Structure 1
Amino acid sequence: MNNLTFRLLEVFQEVVDGGSVTAASNSLALSQPTVSLQLKKLSQIVGLPLLEQFNGKVHMTEAGEAVYLCAQEVLSSQAKLTTQVQALQGMETGALKLAAVTTAKYIAPPMLSAFCKAHPNIDVHFTVGNREQIAGRFKQNRDDVYIFSQPPEDVNIEATAFMDNKLVVIAPGDYNGPDYCTLHDLAGEKFLLRENGSGTRKAVDEYCTRQGFSFRDPMIIESNEAIRLSVASGLGLAILSEHTLAQSATDNIRVLNVQDFPICNSWYVVTRKNRPLSLTALAFKQSLLERIQ
């Protein structure tokens, strides 16, 4: 396409990532009219509308999604070249786009902090969301590195386990029901579960399917913190990652001794086969993989 430039692709990417022209203008230090003009020019070059407004939010058209994927590949290749040149010049700078599922927010910051201290000139963009949101970002090729407990199914995926993610059964501190038991012995208890689609829920459902177990009228709560607080308040039992419990006081919570628990799950570092990784992204990925014993 004639006159298609890095800048046009960068502006489009920032509008999509930021969700608005205003966000992109702030990120790129450009005026809103300039950003709008760049979008119009790009749309004219492509010959099709790239964005549409729905419920007050910007959404990509099918053509927009194709342009966005192109922008990701072109700009990530440009970033990789820049960091390689800078490395040859003896400079350690670059950018890292990291996205992690919500439960991983307990483990990612310490690792990211250690990496940033070792590489102080790195520009980091860290996104946290539920599994559906992060899987959506992966599908759109929006980030360099992802952390999942249940990686998405995709032919372009490279996923390597780098850390244990053990799931335990927890109860209120004053719980006096079955203990040293099987999950079937807890069938009469009220369970608080994550929503369908979350990595924790997926692991729990897979275990229950193998065991022929089903929860009786569970309460669905879309937050690990809310589940932990609800259990502490006596609303019921739950199955959560040990990492969730390690981040807060557990005076009002006890871990039950249930057969087959903890469920041994893993954290995975995930990248796309079709996205060239910069030296910065490769270095961060390697820092995670070095945790493997």
Structure 2
Amino acid sequence: MSRFEFKQVDVFSRVPLKGNPLAVVLGADELSAERMAAFAAWTNLSETTFVLAPRDPEADYRVRIFTTLEELPFAGHPTLGSCHAWLEAGGIPRGEEIIQECGVGLVRIRRRGGELAFLAPPLLKSGPVDASLVERVRLGLGLEEGVILRAQWVDNGAGWLAVMLADRAQVLALQPDHSQMMGLAVGVIAPWDAERDGDAAQFEVRAFISGDGMPEDPATGSLNAGVAQWLLSEGLAPASYVVSQGLTMGRAGRIQVEKVGDEIWIGGSTVTCIEGTLNL
């Protein structure tokens, strides 16, 4: 049994317990993949990460990301949460930006005003979703015919497909039947109405991972990165906007999206809730 520095952080929130929790094991180079997977299943969080020495000479650190079921090549809130934990533990980046190495390659992370943001990675799968799969999603979400306005693959490593509804209230009212969406990662998005909903955010999002230990994710960086690439490419969102996520779970996640030139950055706040030593 070995001892490791451990942190549990809350991502996409300035307030503890209102974002998306992440377990981070630092200096985890001696752990096997099997041991990592077992610990991730034990935490029962949407993701657990393990921070390692980089293999790529351009990277500041390497991270492996596990859900309760599998390892992911990339995920958003684990990227920001792991970077936050690494910096808090004394990590010093080589340059102005932090460079994270993970399954999809190198991910750029920047610091601005006390928040972190990652550069949205290229989509591994994009374009329209087959009509039969959209119908499966519609039934799984319990929606009437015609309620799904658009559907698009927005997969940057986590397998996401996204559907758009007309109204925020429709998103918040969803009570999905996960048995009909097993094996799918489905994001649902709708715009806020400024007069009715206010201006604290411009879109409402929910993220469903049917079959996972956490079937709904409270604040999702990878999904929102993929959705941003979709919306911005089709002129469906402004160059800078805020996403609200997690309300039905008692959370208040806020994801910042900003397009700078050809780059799309996904950011937000992270706060440390637990830190100590892990015996594993």
TM-score, normalised with respect to structure 1 = 0.24
TM-score, normalised with respect to structure 2 = 0.25
Q: Whose radius of gyration is greater, 1 or 2?
A: 1
- Structure (1/2) with the larger strand percentage: 2
- Structure (1/2) with the larger helix percentage: 1
